Amino acid sequence: MRYPLIPKFVGITLLALSSWTHAQSGSNYPDRPVTIVVPFAAGGASDILSRQLGKQLTLTLGQSFVSDNRVGAGGTVGARTVARAAPNGYTLIMGTNSSHAIAATINKNLGYDPLRNFAPISLVAHVPQILMVNPSLPVTNVKELIAHAKANPGKLNYSSAGNGTPGHLGMELFKIMAGIEMTHVPFQGGGPALLALASGQVHLMADNVSSALPQIKQGKVKAIGVTTSRRSGVLPDLPTIAEQALPGFDSGSWFALFAPADTPKDIISKLNAEIVKALNVPEVRATLMAQGADPKPGAPEELTKLIRDDIDKWSRVVEKIGFKME
């Protein structure tokens, strides 16, 4: 017996399901709460940015955007979680150059590919780092620090939030360009690393301005330079490292929103448009800039290029210092 109507029926059914899925993926998104995974501890720059952005998206899209801190391994624990999540727009990540660029240059067993396993949505902000020394160190600027390090080879040490973080590789780049030797002392997070500097356990470190600012204002650490190519808006009188001693030096942190790969393009487009609007709301911009962040929304393609450029940049540094994590 023949069933000539079955293929036609199946085709119509698949077409209907496809249309329904498309409608659900874009026009009705979001219809339930959205989770933004923060791959670092509460209180840090990624956490602050996630919560501020989530608050504004909640207002404009009518569903809660809730931050979920998944801490560990320089941001890779949270990134791995999101890479394996359903690609439906309900699990996102506030990724960083640590989790989505540097990690790929130092870890053979990362468990995800920053370019293939994520759909870039938008850059959120750049955050400069501040080069700081313990007040007991007899230097007041970058030139004096370099001279002191050369006069005392191998005697200085610096702390960081952990191996493979921007504060680690940024300082390794500083060592290369300055021609000096210092010992790296990694900690489990930026908070402990900064406390080690303030207490005199280490001599110097570079940390995000949002985290460093309270310690600088209290005089517990001494700020001597900005790591990025431009000065920080919250410390406008503090010259950059490039201005003072090392032309071309540029290191810092960036933060961006990603979804799992294969998330429908209309969801990505909708989120991108809403992020651009959110980061241009005066109150949101003012709040982020007060934390030292420079809001920088943009197209997904721009974020992809930033990742590729950063992987290339930090790969050269990692190769130069011979650093790898298994």
98 part of a folded domain:
yes
pLDDT of residue 21: 46
Residue 20 counted as domain residue: no
- The structure's pTM equals 0.84
Task: Give the chain's domain count.
Answer: 2
Quick one: 108 exposed, middle or buried, by C-beta within 10 A (0-12, 13-18, 19+)?
exposed
Note the pLDDT of residue 19: 41
> Residue 179 gets which letter from DSSP?
T
- pLDDT reported for residue 189: 78
pLDDT of amino acid 54 = 94
Cα–Cα distance for residue pair 282/221, rounded to 1 Å: 32
Instruction: Classify residue 7: in a domain, yes or no.
Output: no
CA separation for the pair 194, 23 (Å, rounded): 49
d(CA 46, CA 272): 18
Contact 37, 81 (CB under 8 A): yes
pLDDT of residue 280: 93
Q: Domain for residue 262, yes or no?
A: yes
Decide which of 211, 244, 277 is a domain's last residue: 244
pLDDT for the residue numbered 23: 42
Domain boundary pick from 199, 219, 244: 244
10 is a domain residue: no
All residue ranges of the chain with pLDDT < 50 are 1-3, 5-24
Distance between first and last Cα of the chain: 62
pLDDT for 325 equals 65
CATH (domain of 199): 3.40.190.10
Q: What is the span of the domain harbouring residue 44?
A: 33-126+253-321
Reported as a single tens digit per residue, the pLDDT across 227-241 is: 999 999 899 999 999
Pairing mode, if any, of strands 91-96 and 252-260? antiparallel
What is the pLDDT, as a whole number, of residue 149? 97
pLDDT confidence of residue 210: 84
According to DSSP, the residues that pair with 37 across neighbouring strands are 68, 93
DSSP 23: H
**pLDDT value of position 15:** 46
Return the number of other C-beta atoms located less than 10 Å from residue 301's C-beta: 9
Q: Assess if residue 180 is contained within a domain.
A: yes
Indicate the average pLDDT of the chain: 89
Cite the beta strand spans of 156-241 per DSSP E.
157-160, 183-186, 204-208, 222-226
The answer to whether position 24 is within a domain reads no
121/133 same-domain check = no
Identify whether residues 192 and 299 lie together within a single domain. no
- Identify whether residues 263 and 158 lie together within a single domain: no
Chosen domain end from 187, 210, 244: 244
Residue 137 lies in a domain: yes
pLDDT at position 62:
93
Q: Tell me, what CATH number does 281's domain have?
A: 3.40.190.150
pLDDT for 107? 85
Question: Residue 141: phi, psi to the nearest 5?
Answer: -155, 180
Position 26 scores a pLDDT of 64
Same domain, yes or no, for 43 and 65? yes
